[in-house]
Structure 1
């Protein structure tokens, strides 16, 4: 079985993330979406909330498994016998950082990283930018799956 992982914080998952996951799901038998836990960052959504939203918006794919992980991504891959990491690249600036990570991951464990160019529609998109624009009242509905937009609007209203 061909297996890969799409890692990230997904706080929240955007249409850009979803595009990369969807494309990976066509190339691999099983795609693990790894919600990486960074204890030093306070997310807008809890890890469990992020995982639930990802499960909801990827449910039609049929071959996506959503999990969380605290620690090195290569350890996640080793534990599940996953030989490939799939990462989206938005711009050349992403490549510099991601190449270093790919080389480190390969050196640590032999895991390969495949870079997928982001759909130009989403080349500027990041979770941080979406949260910032939404917090200032900007319309981000076209940048997020509908259930995620609803959850984001609700969370921002709570913090009001």
Structure 2
């Protein structure tokens, strides 16, 4: 079974995340959307809300499993018997950031990272931008799936 982990904070899930998830689904038998929990990081949405957003966005998709974890992604992959980590790349800055992490994950857990380039129409979206728009009462409806819209 080909199992992959798509790790992130998903605070909140964006259309950029949805793009990568939809494009990764045909490649794997299971895709674990792994919400990283870091006690030192303040999030806008609770873990429960983020899980709900993702479950509602992908309702009926049997290949998707949503889990939370803390600690190293490589260790989570070992625990979940995942052979791959999926990451989305918007630009070369993302690649430069992700490459050494991918190499370290491989060295620690022999888990390969699969990089998917974001579709052009969502390459400008990040959770950080979405949260900023939300905090300032801007229209974020074109940046997130329906499950996040209030």
TM-score bucket of the superposed structures, by smaller chain: over 0.9
Number of the residue aligned with 1:25: 25
TM-score (norm 1): 0.91
In the alignment, the residues of structure 2 paired with residue 3 and residue 81 of structure 1 have an alpha-carbon distance, to the nearest angstrom, of 7
Deviation at 1:86, TM superposition (A): 0.5
Find the aligned partners of 2:54 and 2:89 in 1 and give their Cα distance: 20
Measured on the aligned residues, the alpha-carbon RMSD in Å equals 0.9
Partner residue of 1:15?
15
Matched, 1:70 2:74: no
- Larger RCO (CA under 8 A, 6+ residues apart): 2
Large movers: runs of 4+ above 3 Å: none
2:141: which partner in 1? 141
Of Structure 1 and Structure 2, the greater helix share is in 1
Whole-angstrom CA distance in 2 between matches of 1:61 and 1:123: 24
Correspondence for 2:131: 131
Q: TM-score of the superposition, structure 2-length normalised?
A: 0.97
C-alpha separation in 2, matches of 1:12 and 1:58: 14
In the alignment of these two chains, the number of paired residues is 150
**Gapped regions of structure 2 (runs ≥ 5):** none
